Amino acid sequence: MNIKITECPRDAMQGLHDFVPTAIKAAYINLLLQVGFDTIDFGSFVSAKAIPQLQDTAEALQKLDMSSTRSKLLAIIANYRGAEEAVKHEEITYLGYPFSISETFQLRNTNTTLPQAFDNVKRIKELCQASNKQLLVYLSMGFGNPYGDEWGTGIIEQWTERLTREGIINIALADTIGIAEAEQISGIYPDLCNKFPETEFGIHLHSTPNSWQPKIDAAYKSGCKRFDVALKGYGGCPMAADDLTGNIATENLIAYLQSQNEPLQLNLTKFQEAMDYSAKVFG
């Protein structure tokens, strides 16, 4: 299986203070669609009050050119109502739902308890099946949390088992606040893959600019084949902390994978165009 890269302009943009015009968002995403990433995490169907930057996701989607890309689209949803909106759009392949193993963060992020969130997962999974979509569940706060909520590998396995029992085959371990250590990744990731062989596990890491390399190296050497990144390391989770810890920079992941002689099949000319254009989005 080749490496799958998910480029995350949604995660990069969602915390921006100034609203990015829809036409600029769409032009940027269209450039990313031409690069050849496996998936583009392009927008979210969530409350405009919670994430005002992405209130125009449906409008931006109408401006995307899907005719000459192999990339699939992923939209984030936080509840059943958002899922109902997302499944109306045939261009979307994946719905991404953040399921936190920290109840404090689940309440902050989606205003639901863990039992309510798990019930959401089950209902959204049924909706996805009926609508020819795939549900990807993020295990948020997958490497610990700042709230004092209980955390441990046993808790991760417990929730993974419950999710897989519901037929979830796409799960991403999410380091929401950038605290994962390489040793943690090496300890958790292979075990999950061995215990749940029918599930594809991705990884969504946040990082400071200087701490990305050991994390990516640990994930890659643990067998991870699906990485979430954002060009120039923009973004982070505005619900998790006041100071945003950025995403892993796409260009860093690409350089790392090239050093490992991974065949990437990316259009690097278009990638450079997207890098240049990103100044219009992020300033």
Residue showing tokens 């946040």: 206
Helix axes 182-195, 153-165, angle to 10 degrees: 30
Q: What is the CATH number of the domain that holds 92?
A: 3.20.20.70
pLDDT at position 176 over 90:
no
- pLDDT band of 236, cuts 50, 70, 90: low
Per-residue model confidence as pLDDT tens digits over 24-62? 999 999 999 999 999 999 999 999 999 999 999 999 999
Count: domains in the chain: 1
Global pTM value: 0.95
According to DSSP, the residues that pair with 95 across neighbouring strands are: 75, 135
Confidence of residue 15 (pLDDT cuts 50, 70, 90): confident
Domain ranges, residue 109? 4-282
CB atoms closer than 10 angstroms to residue 143? 23
Closest residue by Cα to residue 177 from 148, 146, 198, 201: 146
pLDDT given for residue 240 in this prediction: 45
DSSP-derived pairing of the beta strands 226-229 and 92-100: unpaired
- Which residues, 6+ apart, have CB-to-CB distance to 278 below 8 Å? 28, 231, 232, 234
Per-residue confidence at 237, pLDDT binned at 50, 70, 90? low
The CA-based angle 114-120-126, given to 5 degrees, is: 145
C-alpha radius of gyration, the chain, whole number: 17
User: Nearest to residue 248, comparing CAs of 226, 221, 266?
Assistant: 226
Output the pLDDT for position 235: 80
